[in-house]
């Protein structure tokens, strides 16, 4: 069974570009596997791109506000988990 650690919260979702804005409480990097879970949200995906202030970055740390491309709709306050 995979282990999950909460690393952030969705702040907003941009429908037209399928991007989630997330406030991190843990570290995240390209190729990490994440699970986004909420009342009506629950999916897992690999991080293919990561942005801070619209600039591509390889990794982000606790306290950063990031944008990631998501495969499905997410909602504010959905939780983001790192899947080990």
- CATH number reported for the structural domain that contains residue 63 in this entry: 2.40.30.10
What domain range includes position 24? 4-83
Chain mean pLDDT for the chain: 97
CB of 47 closer than 8 Å to CB of 82: no
Give the model's pLDDT for residue 82. Answer: 98
Cα–Cα distances in Å, from 21 out to 4, 28, 52, 58, 73?
20, 13, 10, 16, 12
Q: Name the band, by pLDDT with cuts 50, 70 and 90, for residue 1.
A: low
Q: For the chain, how many structural domains are there in total?
A: 1
Kindly tell me the burial class for residue 58, based on how many C-beta atoms sit within 10 Å of its own C-beta (0-12, 13-18, 19 or more). exposed
pTM (whole model) above 0.85: yes
């Amino acid at each position: 069974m995979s282990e999950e650690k909460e690393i952030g919260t969705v702040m907003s979702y941009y429908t037209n570009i399928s991007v989630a804005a997330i406030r991190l409480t843990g570290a995240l990097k390209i190729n990490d596997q994440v699970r986004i879970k909420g009342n009506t949200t629950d999916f897992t995906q690999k991080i293919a791109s990561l942005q801070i202030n619209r600039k591509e970055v390889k990794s982000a740390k606790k306290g950063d506000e990031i944008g990631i491309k998501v495969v499905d709709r997410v909602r504010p306050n959905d939780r983001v988990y790192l899947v080990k």
